[in-house]
Amino acid sequence: METKIFDQEKINDAVELLAAGELVAFPTETVYGLGALATNETAVKNVYAAKGRPSDNPLIVTVSDEKMMAKYAREIPERAQKLIKHFWPGPLTILLFVKPGSLPSAVTGGLETVAFRCPDDKLTHELIAKLGEPIVGPSANTSTKPSPTTAQHVYHDLNGKIAGIIDGGPTKVGLESTIIDLSVKTPVVLRPGEITPEELSQVLGEKVLINSGKVAEKGVPKAPGMKYRHYAPSAPVIVVDHSEDFLQIDFNDTIGVMAVEDILAKIKLPEENKFNLGNSLQEADHNLFGGLRYFDDKPQIKQIFVQGFSGSESSLAYMNRLDKAAAGHHYMTK
Ligand code: TXA
Ligand code: MG
């Protein structure tokens, strides 16, 4: 099956395919998602197969609004209502108890909770509203690869495996949504994203904990996806935490570098060995996954050195993804 690319005029074709149980990738403000009707068990199982994703790693349920979500949540506590009012539509995924029997267990991986997300994207909002039912929405990449921030990334990974892709252009944020668990006594951020723990805490008026994914209760990480290898390009990645260290590295043609513009300008390497992360942390968030994929097309590159950003809550999301891509490898000053 050749995967079709749809533009905004063809939304109705995508709605029909989804209603028939087919898989269609969709844009969001964070990364592209892989859509299938959340109430159709076969379609949901096909999502795991297309991504090559382990079946114990549950899927996000993507809704058009709170009203749609209410059909699948056991209840919507006041805390959730506050966050929805403030941040939806937007890059925040909320974990609540699932209404028993309302969704196939393949969606939740058999857990008692379900993750809800309402993306800030006009096309996708229209798609789900027309469908009248939620779609599952894991990132539309092959499992272990960086999440897709363009329709072309999705096509590269999933062409022939899914019916269609809705092309909404490059995504705005570039890193996946913040996930907050509201099924526990004190809210916990399970995955950092553009919306920071501090902002969440301010809106909730209470403390918010952060679970890096390293702390597992009884050996089971709270966000199951966090235990898997992630965001891995073909070549090994090394994080460079201090930008002055870029001037000490013995570069050669087999090395790729991802850094902000003024650091790149000081590095003597062919232009094709360099990937510009932009001029700010926000631009680096936006460009990180694209850069990791850029070097996958260059077999001569054997190592990728990537600039780290640290010291602020807003760099948590970037560093979380980069650390996973690097499997914890950091450049050590000589
Ligand atoms: O920005 C995003 O959230 C994107 C866009 C497409 O919406 N989606 C996304 O989905 O990143 P995915 O499947 O790649 O990551 C969702 C994470 C996984 O680590 C999964 O384990 C976790 O959410 N998750 C889903 N349901 C859960 C649940 N019931 N309990 C704990 N973790 C859950
Ligand atoms: Mg993912």
Q: How many CA atoms lie within 13 A of 282 on its CB side?
A: 3
Q: What is the pTM of this model?
A: 0.95
Residue ranges matching CATH 3.90.870.10 in the chain = 4-210
Beta-carbon contacts of 79 under 8 Å, excluding residues fewer than 6 positions away, are: 182, 187, 204, 206
Residue ranges matching CATH 3.40.50 in the chain = 237-325
pLDDT in tens, 30-60: 999 999 999 999 999 999 999 999 999 999 9
Distance CA 35, CA 27 (A): 10
Percent of the chain with pLDDT over 70: 94
Centre of ligand 1 from the C-alpha of residue 190, in Å: 10
Q: Given pLDDT bands bounded at 50, 70 and 90, which one contains residue 333?
A: confident
pLDDT, mean of residues 133-145: 97
Q: For residue 259, what are the β-bridge partners?
A: 276
Strands 178-181 and 188-191: antiparallel
pLDDT of residue 232: 84
Ligand nearest the Cα atom of residue 226 = 1
Q: What atom in ligand 1 is closest to the CA of residue 53?
A: 13
User: What ipTM was predicted for this assembly?
Assistant: 0.99
Nearest CA to ligand 1 atom 30: 223
Nearest CA to ligand 1 atom 15: 138
Ligand nearest the Cα atom of residue 55 = 1
CATH classification code of 237-325: 3.40.50
Report whether CATH 3.10.150.10 matches the domain 4-210: no
pLDDT of residue 217: 45
pLDDT of residue 31: 98
Q: Ligand 1 pocket test: which of 88, 93, 227, 324 has the largest number of ligand atoms within 8 Å of its C-beta?
A: 93
Which candidate, 104, 257, 110, 79, places its Cα nearest to that of 182?
A: 79
Ligand 1-lining residues (CB < 6 angstroms): 28, 30-31, 33, 57-60, 93, 95, 108, 111, 113-115, 117, 119, 137-139, 176-177, 179, 223-226
Nearest CA to ligand 1 atom 10: 138
Residue 223 has phi, psi (to 5 degrees) of -100, 100
pLDDT in tens, 185-244: 999 999 999 999 999 999 999 999 998 665 444 444 566 666 666 788 889 999 999 999
Which candidate, 268, 269, 274, 271, places its Cα nearest to that of 307?
A: 274
